[in-house]
């Protein structure tokens, strides 16, 4: 199971594109609304989530968590104790974490990106404490996949598929959506 955390003010493209890529790869993706199952994106688009943060279960079924960016969505996600516990659980159990745009700052502030190659939205680099800033738009180092922003949301989603399922499945999804490599 993959949890994608959504809070009021999330960047819709950074959430929906990766959800789409992961579901096309036939993975079990669950959208998790912070405080509510109905959240509103940074551009006012309402989204009904599969569950709320109070329903999250951290156990052996968890394959990955995804943290979309956007403002104030990133701050709302970061302030949530369930998200913080989920990040800690993933780190402790070597479970992949994806974060895009401003959301890599959540990992950086926890010191998790120390000596890791990472990228984020310009201006948030100062929060990637000790990270090696990448010149790539999407990068995976260890359990962490980070991405620059909304413009690379599909690539971010395809990289998350690669992390969980390998290059072949990622390539099949890429080809099915007519996405150039």
CATH code of residue 169: 3.40.50.880
**% residues pLDDT > 90 (the chain):** 98
- Check the CA dihedral 45-48-54-56 and report its sign: negative
What mean pLDDT is predicted for residues 28-48?
97
- The answer as to whether 153 is a domain residue is yes
If one counts every other C-beta atom within 10 angstroms of the C-beta of residue 73, the result is 29
What strands, in cross-sheet order, belong to the sheet with 64-67?
A: 51-52, 29-33, 2-6, 64-67, 97-100, 144-147, 138-141
Distance CA 38, CA 33 (A): 7
Q: What is the pLDDT of residue 122?
A: 96
What mean pLDDT is predicted for residues 152-169?
98
pTM (predicted TM-score)? 0.97
What mean pLDDT is predicted for residues 125-134?
96
- The answer as to whether 128 is a domain residue is yes
Instruction: Give the phi and the psi of residue 170 in degrees, each rounded to 5.
Output: -60, -45
Is residue 108 over pLDDT 80? Answer: yes
Distance CA 113, CA 116 (A): 5
Distances in whole angstroms, Cα of residue 163 to Cα of each of 140, 143, 169, 171: 8, 9, 10, 12
Domain count, the chain: 1
- The answer as to whether 181 is a domain residue is no
Distance CA 63, CA 110 (A): 21
Distance CA 15, CA 174 (A): 17
Is residue 181 over pLDDT 80? Answer: no
51 burial via Cβ count (<10 Å: 0-12, 13-18, 19+): middle
**% residues pLDDT > 70 (the chain):** 100
The domain containing residue 128 runs over which residues? 2-176
């Amino acid at each position: 199971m993959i949890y994608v955390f959504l809070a009021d003010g999330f960047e819709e493209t950074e959430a929906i594109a990766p959800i789409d890529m992961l579901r096309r790869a036939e993975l079990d993706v669950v959208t998790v609304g912070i405080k509510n199952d109905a959240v509103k994106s940074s551009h006012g688009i309402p989204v009904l989530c599969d569950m709320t943060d109070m329903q999250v279960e951290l156990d052996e079924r968890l394959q990955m968590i995804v943290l979309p960016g956007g403002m104030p969505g990133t701050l709302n996600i970061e302030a949530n104790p369930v998200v913080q516990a989920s990040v800690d659980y993933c780190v402790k159990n070597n479970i992949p974490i994806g974060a895009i745009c401003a959301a890599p700052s959540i990992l950086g502030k926890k010191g998790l990106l120390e000596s890791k190659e990472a990228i984020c939205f310009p201006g948030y680099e100062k929060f990637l404490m000790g990270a090696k800033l990448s010149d790539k738009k999407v990068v995976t180092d260890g359990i962490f996949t980070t991405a620059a922003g909304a413009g690379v949301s599909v690539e971010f989603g395809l990289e998350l598929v690669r992390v969980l399922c390998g290059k072949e499945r990622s390539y099949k999804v890429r080809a099915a959506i007519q996405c150039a490599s």
